[in-house]
Amino acid sequence: MTILKGQDVLSVAQFDKALIGDVFGRARQMRQMVETEGRSDLLKPFVLALIFYEPSTRTASSFIAAMQRLGGGVIPITGGVQFSSVSKGETLGDTMRVLEQYADVIVMRHPEKGAAEQAAAAATVPVINAGDGVGEHPTQALLDLFTIEEELGRIDGLNVAMIGDLRFGRTVHSLTRLLSLYDVNLRFVSPEILRLPLTLMNGVRDAGLNVRECHDVAEVIASADVLYVTRVQKERFSDLAQYDEVKNYYRITPDLMAQAQEKMIVMHPLPRVGEIEPTIDSDPRAAYFRQVRNGMFIRMSLLASVLGATV
């Protein structure tokens, strides 16, 4: 029994340190299970419906893998909503009310901020937000934080630099909120038009964190314990000329990495579109593929908790 049983997962605001510790502990048990047994029957009685109104590779497949590794069933609606009744004009509420007739939990991605809350209000089964526009991406933030703790052994005291599209990047928004619970130094590196939204900036300042903004990765590289790199979110720009101006603003190169600490990590929620040179992949500090794997363990942990099954 955990406090997430039967609950929606919509925002990182639902998580405090104790609950995060609980989710992480269970994620470690899941990793242990996967490494020894490969899969279990823990969620055998349950079915997950996954509906994605926006493209995804990792988030969709990691939720599917998570459910399958725990023996559960999956209804994947990821081929684009053109194949579902949404294209016939069905409301979000009706889609939820239908899916819950088949499934015990619904995972949804949607282009509109706030859509996850709307879906959760209509559904009687738990809804997990897998990204709502420029809003939140709570399960990504949990796996990001988990990766930091796994890789560096702690969270408090770290220098975390977030780089790229801080304005539209929902993973940045959720991770920034989650990190406000800890004693970290935050550096935000972006072009002027992609600065972190003011409400989020005020939030971290109010939480008492040491925060600084700048435009150049070179200013933060030497002191960073975590370099959290993100893609410029092309799909969120109404003016593509503006996107073109900032799309190649920064690039993590071997030269830049030569200035970084020996023990630090480079993270990226992926997909990357040129922000990190592929030659960095063989650097042991490149943590982004390990981060992907952690995503499966975190989602296994969350699904087990929400469905009230424990290991």
113 to 172, contacts with ligand NCD by CB under 6 A? 131, 137, 140, 170-171
Task: Residue 174: count other Cβ atoms within 10 Å of its Cβ.
Answer: 27
Using CB under 6 A, pick the residue from 100, 231, 275, 296 that binds ligand NCD. Answer: 231
167 to 206, contacts with ligand NCD by CB under 6 A? 170-171
Question: For the packed helices 170-179 and 198-206, what is the interaxial angle rounded to 10 degrees?
Answer: 10
236 near ligand NCD (CB under 6 A): no
- Residue 274 beta carbon to ligand NCD: minimum distance, rounded to whole angstroms: 12
Q: What are phi and psi of 49, to 5 degrees?
A: -105, 130
8 to 37, contacts with ligand NCD by CB under 6 A? none
Task: Residue 130: count other Cβ atoms within 10 Å of its Cβ.
Answer: 27
- The catalytically annotated residue of 26, 31, 110, 137 is 137
**Whole-angstrom Cα Rg for the chain:** 19
Whether 69 is a known active-site residue: answer: no
Question: For the packed helices 170-179 and 138-152, what is the interaxial angle rounded to 10 degrees?
Answer: 60
Region of 39-47, 187-195, 218-226, 230-238 interacting with ligand NCD (CB under 6 A): 230-238
| x/- map, 249-288, ligand NCD, by CB under 6 A | --------------------xx------------------
59 near ligand NCD (CB under 6 A): yes
Whether 109 is a known active-site residue: answer: yes
- Residue 223 beta carbon to ligand NCD: minimum distance, rounded to whole angstroms: 25
213 burial level (CB within 10 Å; 0-12, 13-18, 19+): middle
- Residue 306 beta carbon to ligand NCD: minimum distance, rounded to whole angstroms: 19
Whether 230 is a known active-site residue: answer: no
- Per the listing, tokens 């809804």 go with 127
Whether 110 is a known active-site residue: answer: no
Strand order in the sheet with 159-163: 210-214, 185-189, 159-163, 226-229, 265-267
- Which residues pair with residue 229 across a beta bridge? 163
User: What positions carry a catalytic annotation?
Assistant: 58-59, 88, 109, 137
Kindly list the residues in this chain that would bind ligand NCD in the complex (CB under 6 A): 58-59, 131, 137, 140, 170-171, 230-231, 233, 269-270
